[in-house]
């Protein structure tokens, strides 16, 4: 290929993924009873684009398959075919299939042609078996004139025998006849043509490749051709069935697989509205103007009042803050991308489970950090499975409980202050407190009923291995879903709230920070250096009372605080800060919570609370245990962000505190 | 300003380097002269007090922020077991920022020095290979020796220095 198309490959992948996602959404929204022609057009255009672009990159199998789908949709579009529920499922499967192929392209894996061609064959058979034409409500459109314009037809390879001229066969007459029933394109094959001196003009050395666009039935076409030619010399296939490979099929129909494939489909590039970029350019221009203004002022400075400088500095501040905000916005994408996947999941899963569910999505325009969206995929998936499998009852049970047989799940997102709230509400059976309690007791998580609050009871469902389901299904019940949800959400700096009423339904509310790049933090000072603690870990800050300080051994100390003994750590010890002595006079104690465990950190001084931008230390250095990242303070100095999780580990296993062999003790 | 002047200078020297001559930045640490290929010098920056980091080898003095990038500071005094540098607290301390690509990722480190460095151009033939089997540390770092103004300059390789921390 003369042009290096590699650089456009990512664009191809992105674009196709987007088209497939849209197609999926459209397919799921199609109502069989009244098919909206706009929807079909939409699908048709999507397939058309994929057909076109895949041809550019020489992905023949995708190209051919998209072409088949296009023809199929073309029939639907022209009302010669009525779309059935089975068709939609088949189309959904096709979308998955193309997606898999594109993921393979992206990962530079070979495309599995087997599945594509298998589906392709199914569609072709459907199209050949057609037209179950439109004797439908819209009225009969079976007019022969309209048929001729249809993009459907036959691929005819016509290789006359050598002596066919002697039998009086006249190919041109045949072509003429064929062109009367449809649009015909003819290509002559001359590969059998001998050298001129060997040419016998009475013999036929040519073969023809015809494309006949018509929807006349095969019989009609055959009748015309076989009248002039023997069957052996003609091969008639419906258009776009050139690729009939042996159907090697790897059936991957479990929902699990579908979603993991979707995860793999996540792209690393990001699409940004031009509007956002324009506003960035705009604000950058303002900054430059500001800067030159400052230059001018300082150049012409003659000791007169500083008002000009102050004014410009004020402007500079406003502009740089605005710029920061806008740059952050770039990373924000609508949660729509995430939510739309679940439409499909709900559709497939409810079918498998024999339940009827209506998924209502709201607030899909809410914007979230792109990385966060990727990390939210699994938790929401688990919650959704959980709701479908355990929450929602079977239609019969629902009717008994006087609820509509079609269950409803709401997936909702909105912004609340500096947090994003994602809600999953179902109108299913609700959590059974008694069951959870008895399970918790039998699992040894809890002694006899201690009069726990609802929240405390619901917390148990997030314990690893905790499941109240009597049976284990493919979908859930193994007790490994919700603890993953809990882990992922806490890792993102978020919180989960559960509300539930027996017989009425359950609400899971995920409360997440707006972005991963900025964190609300507390600055502290230990041994003369500033460290940073994420605010979400801090439970309480108190003056260290020596009387409550208890030593177990040299490295383990407990602090008596509100009827609890909390382990206390000294950063100096964990980090081997030079010149350290355990001095607890006039110190402060920060009580922190990680994974439901408490830990106290002794600090010298409490500084301000700030929003900080997290920087990666691993770019130029190795990972430091106990350090989550670095940030830059107002004075331009780097400061370390503590990884409270790791510090808790250090506190429980002091042997983890390693002095590197290279570390010199002389300091 | 040093910071402004150096990168421009490097840009012009970069092209002449293609002719086969070798250009390096020479600096002084604790009385010893070292040289680094000019093309591996990203910039020469004013002193930033590094932030101490835990459990690091003693030659890693901490990290600094250079316009949003976090860069570790490697003290050659400690790395090469030199006697600590006597310095005048008033003298200007600066940091040489090196960069080098490994696996297509650009990495940077900083080396603190007390004197403003000089650049020299030599022929490759002027470089004397360094063979010392006794001192392991130096053997792994010194790629060659060259004599400039009657002083021995030890030529270092940025990648070697960086492999200590990454």
Q: Give the residue carrying structure tokens 């899963």.
A: A349
A529 DSSP 8-state letter: E
| Largest CA-CA distance found in chain A, in angstroms, rounded | 118
CA distance A60 to A66: 10
Say how far apart CA A439 and CA A470 lie, in whole Å. Answer: 11
Q: Any idea what DSSP says for residue A462?
A: G
More confident residue, A425 or A34: A425
Give the mean pLDDT of A550-572.
Answer: 84
Cβ within 8 Å of B, A 20-59? none
Q: How far is B122 from chain A (nearest CA, A)?
A: 31
Question: Which domain does B64 fall in, by range?
Answer: 2-163
Measured in degrees and rounded to the nearest 5, phi and psi for residue A472 equal: -105, 125
Could you report the per-residue pLDDT of A61-119, keeping only the tens digit for each?
Answer: 888 888 888 888 888 877 777 778 888 888 888 888 888 888 888 777 777 777 778 88
Cα dihedral sign for B39, B40, B42, B47?
negative
Question: Which of A150-154, A314-318, A357-361, A486-490 shows the lowest mean pLDDT across its residues?
Answer: A150-154
Please report which confidence band the pLDDT of residue A473 belongs to, taking 50, 70 and 90 as the band edges. low
Of A465-469, A506-510, B86-90, the poorest mean pLDDT is in B86-90
Tokens for A325? 């905000």
Q: How many CB atoms lie within 10 A of CB A217?
A: 12
- Give the residue with greater pLDDT, A480 vs A225: A225
Q: Which of residues 128-157 of B touch A (CB under 8 A)?
A: none
In this prediction, residues A143-159 reach a mean pLDDT of 55
CB contact under 8 A, B165 and A577: no
What DSSP character marks residue A615?
A: B
Indicate the average pLDDT of chain A. 76
Tell me how far apart the alpha carbons of residues A637 and A631 are, in angstroms, rounded to a whole number. 8
Question: In chain A, pLDDT over 70 holds for what percent of residues?
Answer: 82
CB atoms inside a 10 Å sphere around CB A384: 27
B98 CA to centre of own chain: 7
> A518 φ, ψ to 5°?
-120, 140
pLDDT score, position A229: 62
Please give the distance of CA A350 from its chain centroid, rounded to a whole number: 20
Selection from A189, A184, A178, A154 nearest residue A227 by Cα: A178
In the structure encoding, which two tokens stand for residue A35, read together?
Answer: 């098919």
What pLDDT is recorded for position A267? 43
Q: pLDDT at position A461, please? A: 81
We report the CATH number of the domain holding residue B91 as 2.40.50.180
Contacts of A218 (CB under 8 A, 6+ apart): A128, A154, A236
Which CA distances in Å does A13 have to A17, A100, A103, A265, A622? Answer: 6, 11, 8, 9, 34
Predicted structure pTM score? 0.53
The answer for A 638-667 residues in CB contact with B (under 8 A) is 638-640, 658-660, 662-664, 666-667
Find chain B residues with C-beta within 8 A of A630's C-beta: 51, 63, 65, 70
Whole-Å CA distances, A357 to A351, A498, B57: 9, 21, 60
For tokens 């001359």, name the residue: A190
Mean pLDDT of the A539-557 span: 83
Which chain B residues contact residue A632 at CB under 8 A? 65, 68
Which residue(s) pair with A156 in the sheet?
A210, A236
- Report d(CA A572, CA A576) in Å as an integer: 5
Give the pLDDT of residue A531.
93
Per the model's pLDDT, the better-predicted residue between A253 and A94 turns out to be A94
For residue A522, is pLDDT > 90? Answer: yes
Residues 247-266 in A contacting B (C-alpha not used; CB under 8 Å): none
- pLDDT over threshold 50, residue A151: no
Best of A571, A613, A638 to disrupt the B interface by mutation (most B CBs within 10 Å)? A638
Q: Is A553 helix (H, G, I), strand (E, B) or coil?
A: coil
CB A76 within 8 A of CB A83: yes
Name the nearest CA neighbour of B6 among B66, B47, B49, B46: B46
Q: Which residue shows structure tokens 């325009």?
A: A365
Say how many CA atoms lie within 13 Å of A508 toward its Cβ.
Answer: 29
Tell me the three state secondary structure of residue A262: helix
Tell me, what DSSP letter sits at residue A246? -
Q: Which residues in chain B (20-59) have CB-CB distances under 8 A to chain A?
A: 48-58
Question: Is beta strand A597-603 parallel, antiparallel or unpaired with respect to A564-569?
Answer: parallel
- Per the CB < 8 A criterion, the answer to whether A256 and A476 are in contact is no
Over range A252-264, report the average pLDDT.
Answer: 40
Q: How many domains does chain B have?
A: 1
- Please give the sequence-ordered ranges of beta strands (E in DSSP) within A180-283, or none if there are none: 183-189, 207-213, 234-238
Residue of chain B nearest A614, judged by CA positions: B68
Confidence (pLDDT) at B91: 64
Q: Residue B4's pLDDT is what?
A: 37
pLDDT at residue A243 above 80?
Answer: no
Average pLDDT over residues A233-254: 48
**Alpha carbon of B157: minimum distance to chain A alpha carbons (Å):** 17
> In this structure, are residues A151 and A215 in contact, taking their beta carbons and an 8 Å threshold?
no
Does residue A442 sit in helix, strand or coil?
helix
DSSP A269: S
Residues A521-546, mean pLDDT to the nearest whole number: 89
- C-alpha of A603 from chain center: 42
Distant-in-sequence, close-in-space partners of A333: CB < 8 Å, separation ≥ 6: A270, A367, A368, A370, A373
Residue A176 burial (10 A CB sphere; 0-12, 13-18, 19+):
exposed
Is the pLDDT confidence value at A524 over 90? yes
pLDDT, position B63: 92
Nearest CA in chain B to A634: B65
Q: Say if residue A523's pLDDT is above 90.
A: yes
pLDDT tens for each residue of A289-340: 988 988 888 888 777 777 888 888 888 888 888 888 888 778 788 888 788 8
Kindly state the average pLDDT of the residues A634-639: 87
Note the pLDDT tens digit of each residue in A354-371.
888 888 998 888 888 887
For residue B102, the distance in angstroms to the closest alpha carbon of chain A comes to 11
Spans of chain B below 50 pLDDT: 1-19
């Amino acid at each position: 290929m003369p042009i290096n198309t590699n650089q456009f490959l990512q664009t191809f992948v992105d674009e196709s993924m987007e088209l497939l996602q849209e197609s999926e959404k459209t397919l799921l929204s199609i109502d069989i009873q009244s098919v909206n022609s706009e929807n079909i057009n939409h699908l048709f255009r999507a397939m058309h684009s994929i057909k076109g672009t895949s041809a550019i990159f020489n992905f023949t199998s995708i190209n051919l398959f998209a072409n088949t789908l296009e023809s199929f949709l073309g029939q639907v579009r022209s009302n010669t075919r009525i779309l059935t529920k089975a068709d939609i499922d088949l189309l959904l499967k096709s979308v998955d299939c193309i997606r898999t192929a594109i993921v393979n392209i992206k990962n530079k894996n070979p495309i599995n042609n087997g599945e594509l061609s298998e589906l392709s064959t199914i569609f072709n058979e459907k199209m050949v078996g057609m037209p179950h034409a439109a004797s439908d409500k819209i009225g009969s459109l079976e007019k022969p004139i309209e048929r001729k314009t249809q993009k459907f037809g036959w691929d005819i390879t016509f290789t006359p025998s050598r002596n066919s001229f002697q039998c009086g066969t006249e190919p041109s007459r045949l072509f003429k006849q064929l062109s009367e029933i449809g649009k015909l394109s003819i290509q002559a094959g001359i590969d059998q043509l001998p050298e001129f001196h060997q040419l016998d003009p009475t013999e036929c050395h040519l073969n023809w490749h015809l494309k006949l666009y018509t929807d006349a039935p095969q019989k009609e076409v055959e009748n015309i051709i076989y009248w002039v030619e023997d069957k052996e010399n003609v091969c008639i296939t419906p258009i776009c069935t050139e690729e009939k490979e042996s159907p090697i099929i790897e059936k991957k129909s479990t929902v699990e697989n579908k979603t993991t494939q979707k995860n793999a489909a996540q792209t690393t590039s990001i699409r940004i509205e031009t509007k956002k970029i324009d506003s960035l350019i705009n604000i950058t221009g303002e900054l430059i103007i500001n800067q030159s203004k400052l230059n001018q002022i300082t150049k012409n400075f003659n000791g007169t009042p500083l008002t000009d400088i102050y004014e410009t500095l004020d402007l500079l501040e406003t502009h740089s803050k605005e710029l920061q905000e806008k740059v952050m916005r770039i990373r924000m994408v609508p949660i729509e991308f995430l939510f739309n996947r679940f439409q499909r999941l709900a559709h497939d899963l409810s079918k498998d489970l024999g339940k009827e569910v209506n998924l209502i999505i709201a607030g899909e325009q809410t914007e979230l950090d792109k990385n966060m969206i990727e990390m939210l995929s699994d938790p929401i998936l688990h919650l959704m499975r959980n709701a479908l499998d355990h929450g929602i009852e079977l239609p019969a049970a629902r009717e008994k409980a006087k609820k509509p047989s079609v269950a409803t799940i709401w997936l909702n997102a909105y912004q609340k202050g500096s947090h994003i709230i994602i809600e999953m509400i179902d109108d299913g059976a609700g959590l059974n407190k008694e069951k959870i309690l008895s399970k918790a007791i039998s699992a040894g998580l809890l002694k006899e009923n201690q009069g726990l609050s609802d929240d405390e009871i619901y917390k148990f469902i997030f314990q690893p291995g905790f499941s109240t389901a009597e049976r284990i299904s493919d979908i859930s019940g193994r007790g490994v879903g919700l603890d993953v949800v809990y882990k992922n959400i806490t890792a993102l700096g978020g919180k989960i709230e559960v509300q539930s009423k027996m017989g009425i339904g359950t609400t899971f509310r995920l409360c997440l920070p707006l972005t991963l790049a900025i964190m609300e933090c507390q600055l502290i000072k230990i041994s003369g250096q500033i460290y940073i603690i994420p605010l979400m870990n801090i439970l309480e800050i108190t003056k260290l009372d020596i009387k409550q300080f208890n030593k177990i051994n040299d490295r383990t100390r407990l602090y008596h605080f509100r009827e609890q003994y909390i382990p206390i750590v000294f950063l100096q010890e964990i980090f081997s800060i030079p010149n350290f002595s355990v001095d607890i006079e006039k110190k402060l104690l920060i009580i922190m919570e990680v994974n439901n465990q408490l830990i106290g950190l002794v600090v010298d001084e409490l500084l301000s609370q700030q929003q900080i931008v997290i920087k990666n230390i691993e770019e130029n250095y190795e990972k430091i245990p106990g350090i989550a990242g670095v940030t830059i303070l107002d004075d331009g100095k780097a400061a370390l962000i503590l990884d409270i999780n790791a510090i808790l580990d250090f506190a429980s296993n002091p042997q983890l505190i390693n002095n590197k062999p290279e570390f010199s003790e002389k300091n | 300003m040093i910071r402004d002047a150096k990168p421009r200078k490097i840009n012009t020297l970069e092209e002449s380097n293609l002719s086969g001559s070798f250009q390096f930045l020479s600096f002084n640490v604790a009385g010893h002269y070292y040289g680094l290929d000019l093309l591996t010098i990203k910039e020469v920056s004013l002193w930033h007090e590094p932030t101490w980091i835990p459990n690091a080898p003693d030659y890693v003095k901490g990290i600094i922020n250079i316009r949003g990038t976090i860069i570790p500071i490697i003290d050659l005094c400690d790395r090469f077991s030199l006697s600590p540098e006597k310095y005048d607290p008033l003298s200007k301390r600066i940091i040489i920022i090196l960069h080098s690509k490994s696996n297509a990722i650009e990495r940077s480190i900083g080396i603190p020095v007390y004197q403003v460095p000089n650049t020299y151009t030599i022929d490759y033939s002027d470089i004397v290979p360094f063979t010392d089997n006794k001192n392991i540390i130096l053997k792994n770092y010194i790629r060659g020796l060259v004599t400039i103004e009657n002083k021995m300059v030890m030529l270092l390789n940025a990648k070697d220095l960086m492999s200590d921390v990454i």
